[in-house]
Structure 1
């Protein structure tokens, strides 16, 4: 069996339909007491995923110290066909200033996406979604920028690509406007950009929506607007929808494998980053034969209302009510993560919901926004006895509560969406594993 950071390791590869592409060898050696199951989010090849997982494991081992000899750990890594990471989620990467790159917006730049940029993006989307005849799809995207019947046709192509018969009912409900609004109307309503939040005035405690205003308003200067930009935003919404659907599909398939091949005496610890957090949560929710020992969600790219007790209840409310996790559920969150804190929320909006979201929440992506992200705000709208709030610190193993959700405010040690290396993630993972 392969090894990862000194522990027995298997990589399980899945396709977009949830079929496991890895031969059915044992998941772990005899005598294993604890199985770490790890999932990446945005597109990683297996080498990238392995490097991410090595950081998780090494960080956990360092945080655990000498207590580990009483347990025998093994690791399963998940490889699944997610999409290329785009730091802003709603436009092409170069359309905005990336705070990690330290650039500045060009005030004299064009207001709409260029034809070449749209064509390049359309080709990428067609390849990601498996749309045949990429050239024709690119031509349809150019025409759709002018609206009307061409936009209707483009939207139907996208719907056909992401709408398998009978599947993804929850995701379709969450993104109903993508499937119900006429295509021409969708493009027209996505041409005007949503507003950028303003930096806050006065002190900010670092954990509220004002922190997001500082991160976004201080870094991003403008949105592109126009027909081609509207089509680009449309593409982002459909690819985001498909990412959610794939994560759910693979997570459910993973649950079947764990149910069938992991005996009850082996404790399962699920750990996911970004959309991988949705994948492992879907797995926990689907398990029939056993419970999960712990669930760690690192900068999760799904709804902060996923576990909500308020009606309509969250998509993964059953994880709480059915007691799917025996030990801790730990959620890291920070508005330093603009990918989840702002652009996740924008990518969750479609049609006329943009204006409604602003009116209801004061700031897109904030705790009061129905489209806010778990990795930005932590788990929201739970019963008080189900959730515990604390502020984390670099290198400190938090005191996670067994059987409860622990929201860990990570402002001081997670600086962006992908800042989940060994030093940052390890103590969080160990807190969940230790508390199981």
Structure 2
């Protein structure tokens, strides 16, 4: 445990199955101590979860920067607030993360995946062998497609009924005879791109597993052991999906007021923008409810989602990757609409409220139980990479001000 400009900071870590590996006892003790020293109901705990392809070092840098901004907004709430960085095994290739040492070769880079696929050492080795061939083959039992696909073992939702993509699926192939191997070969620029595609699918699924079986139960235990604790969940990219599925793992609550979760912030969320919709117009059965729609009852406060058109990762690549994942070309609908991501255009539902991501100090009028689309086009817009655009351009005072305002902890 340490501090960031006076803000208590600690970390919790989960493995790929959502098992808590460190930090849980320290968090419970710190929250109990902060609660005992504060007025009843004044202890606030902010959780922040990183996204895909973040090493632990990258995640820690993100958390330090984000919580440094938050600390200056808490005023008299600073001493009774705890910031928690969530570490989960989402890193894929070293060449995609400048915070880690780069692998000597593509084969070495793939073999390094063994660190985040501890139960699949043989699959990783076979994938490395396939990539190391003089002329790597895509198709066939020993080809890159089959070997990389073997890495996808996590379910989209361990608890049945909460896969937010399920209502949108009309495949396999949507009756189009889709040849996935040829399609993957066409859309991938090189052999490592094929590896990226399937590690992407695994980490997307894994986020749901860690949320449901890891973070959700930890938050539930925190609420049970520390009376009046106020929990605020923030997640970036696939970390936003993790946070959404933590609401599943929270379990049933008698009413929103009984829930320890008082606010949720999805930062450029990489999961379906229909997830919380009472009725999905693009569903295979139009009007079907989003699988996470009922979970707003587990949040005693607002749910926020930032969105920006400058996020190329979510505006272009996410819908294409999701469309391919579900073997559905979606030719009858614009894929960015049907397969769109939360961080591209926010909650897609009639009962969502649109608001501008406001400057620090500007008042918000957030209402509990309401979903807010925070238009971040004027803030989250730095073109940080040819692939992702502004996807990770989230460290801004305006972002943390929205979080603090939703949590009602502003000075």
* 1:388 lines up with 2:353 in the alignment: yes
Out of 51, 59, 62, the residue aligned to residue 52 of structure 1 is: 62
Q: How far is the alpha carbon of 1:354 from its aligned partner?
A: 6.3
Q: Which residue of 2 aligns with 1:334?
A: 308
* 1:316 lines up with 2:292 in the alignment: yes
User: In 2, distance between residues paired with 1:317 and 1:352?
Assistant: 21
Q: Is the 8 A contact 1:393 1:413 kept in 2?
A: no
Q: Which residue of 1 aligns with 2:367?
A: 401
SS at match of 2:65: helix
Q: How far is the alpha carbon of 1:376 from its aligned partner?
A: 0.7
Q: How far is the alpha carbon of 1:47 from its aligned partner?
A: 4.2
User: In 2, distance between residues paired with 1:118 and 1:273?
Assistant: 27
Q: Which residue of 2 aligns with 1:190?
A: 184
Q: Which residue of 2 aligns with 1:207?
A: none
User: In 1, distance between residues paired with 2:138 and 2:53?
Assistant: 31
Q: Is the 8 A contact 1:301 1:374 kept in 2?
A: yes
Q: Which residue of 2 aligns with 1:303?
A: 272
Q: Is the 8 A contact 1:60 1:422 kept in 2?
A: no
Out of 392, 398, 404, the residue aligned to residue 418 of structure 1 is: 392
Query: After superposition, what is the alpha-carbon deviation per residue over 1:27-85, rounded to whole angstroms, capped at 9, x for unaligned?
Result: 42233521111111134444433332233333234345x4647x821222211111248
The 5 A counterparts of 1:143-292 are 145=137, 147-151=139-143, 154-155=145-146, 158-159=149-150, 161-163=152-154, 167=158, 174=166, 185-193=179-187, 224=189, 229=190, 232=192, 234-252=194-212, 253-262=214-223, 263-288=226-251, 290-291=258-259, 292=261
Q: Which residue of 2 aligns with 1:103?
A: none
Query: After superposition, what is the alpha-carbon deviation per residue over 1:233-258, rounded to whole angstroms, capped at 9, x for unaligned?
Result: 54333212211222112212122122
CA 1:240/1:46 → structure 2, altered by over 3 Å: closer, same or farther?
closer
Q: Is the 8 A contact 1:400 1:435 kept in 2?
A: no
CA 1:128/1:19 → structure 2, altered by over 3 Å: closer, same or farther?
closer
SS at match of 1:349: helix
CA 1:260/1:432 → structure 2, altered by over 3 Å: closer, same or farther?
same
Paired residues, number: 361
CA 1:179/1:67 → structure 2, altered by over 3 Å: closer, same or farther?
farther
User: In 1, distance between residues paired with 2:86 and 2:402?
Assistant: 20
RMSD: 3.8
TM-score, normalised to structure 2, is 0.74
CA 1:81/1:339 → structure 2, altered by over 3 Å: closer, same or farther?
same
Q: Is the 8 A contact 1:171 1:241 kept in 2?
A: no
CA 1:285/1:27 → structure 2, altered by over 3 Å: closer, same or farther?
farther
Q: How far is the alpha carbon of 1:127 from its aligned partner?
A: 5.8
Q: Is the 8 A contact 2:305 2:347 kept in 1?
A: yes
Q: Which residue of 2 aligns with 1:205?
A: none
Q: Is the 8 A contact 2:50 2:59 kept in 1?
A: yes
- The unaligned stretches of length 5 or more in structure 2 are 98-103, 280-286, 382-389
SS at match of 1:12: strand
Q: Is the 8 A contact 2:126 2:147 kept in 1?
A: no
Q: How far is the alpha carbon of 1:319 from its aligned partner?
A: 1.3
TM-score, normalised to structure 1, is 0.71
User: In 2, distance between residues paired with 1:165 and 1:279?
Assistant: 11
Q: Which residue of 2 aligns with 1:2?
A: 2
Q: Which residue of 2 aligns with 1:378?
A: 346
Out of 60, 66, 83, the residue aligned to residue 91 of structure 2 is: 83
